[in-house]
Structure 1
């Protein structure tokens, strides 16, 4: 897996987070916090999990080599705008980090401790790809919740971002 592939996924993460944020501006605070049966209960709970997982756990593991221990369902922000702003800001951090990775690091291993204390050693690049796949998974849950509640839902497929990029480069 190359830096270029990972950069595309980091760009997609930024793009999809921004598009989802636009759609979430339309929903009420009540619907944002309503327990609708998602794994992390609500849209707010799921977004807090994304922020925590991508930026407080995984980014620390990759960039700093640390393994924070914080519950995966921790609510970092209950305010919608604060939560969405931090998600959007922190998503930018992956670009600089990935640009600095060399082939040796990408082909290496990542050793970290899970929240439960178990130590794992996994392929570095594939585990980094997991971070972006994880975000896609949870954004999909949120878009399904938006649809279920009758709100408009953004198209978040990667090909839509690629098409936008192609149009701007033409």
Structure 2
């Protein structure tokens, strides 16, 4: 599988898992979503907001890459999160709608990338203003891995709340080869 095809699979998995996460979250009360559960970002709601904040930061960085200036132009005018624990939306419906929009942006961005695009670097600054130059494709791997990491935490938090998210394995989306 070529790298670009792998990223398409990851974008599809990201969208599929986020739909499951938000469907599961909608079964809980606002109080249950906001309950402090000892996670990095406190609650289910805090963790979901963190994923959106981090995705926004990375997509805005990726928007500066020559291959992505068109597909990620919609990210440029969005406010840049100032903290990784920033509450981007204070209600689940607003957060869910934005998450769905972000997932469509990610799908379109990844679909437009070529293998040649992925064999370049990205120059960016982290949240502390420190400049960095890294492999574009490796940063995209980090982007998807970060989402999976925190969705895994959310899955555990759902379990603590007595709610089952269902199948979460990427394997569910990998086609069988004959």
Q: 1:74 aligns with which of 86, 94, 105?
A: 86
Residue 78 of structure 1: SS of its match in structure 2?
coil
Stretches of 4+ aligned residues off by more than 6 angstroms: none
Residue 86 of structure 1: SS of its match in structure 2?
helix
TM-score (norm 2): 0.85
- What is the Cα deviation at residue 155 of structure 1? 1.5
Is residue 84 of structure 1 aligned with residue 96 of structure 2? Answer: yes
- What is the Cα deviation at residue 123 of structure 1? 0.6
Q: Give CA deviations for 1:89-115 in whole Å, capped at 9, x if unaligned.
A: 211111211222222220111111000
Is residue 50 of structure 1 aligned with residue 51 of structure 2? Answer: yes
Q: Give CA deviations for 1:16-39 in whole Å, capped at 9, x if unaligned.
A: 001111111111110101111110
Is residue 2 of structure 1 aligned with residue 3 of structure 2? Answer: yes
TM-score (norm 1): 0.89
* Distance across 1 between alignment mates of 2:144 and 2:97: 18
Q: 1:129 aligns with which of 126, 141, 146?
A: 141
Residue 174 of structure 2: SS of its match in structure 1?
helix
Residue 116 of structure 1: SS of its match in structure 2?
coil
- What is the Cα deviation at residue 153 of structure 1? 2.3
Aligned-residue CA RMSD in angstroms? 1.6
Provide the residue aligned with 2:118 in structure 1.
106
Provide the residue aligned with 2:59 in structure 1.
59
- What is the Cα deviation at residue 69 of structure 1? 5.9
Is residue 138 of structure 1 aligned with residue 143 of structure 2? Answer: no
Provide the residue aligned with 2:168 in structure 1.
156
* Distance across 2 between alignment mates of 1:80 and 1:69: 18
* Distance across 1 between alignment mates of 2:8 and 2:15: 11
* Distance across 2 between alignment mates of 1:130 and 1:46: 17
* Distance across 1 between alignment mates of 2:117 and 2:168: 30
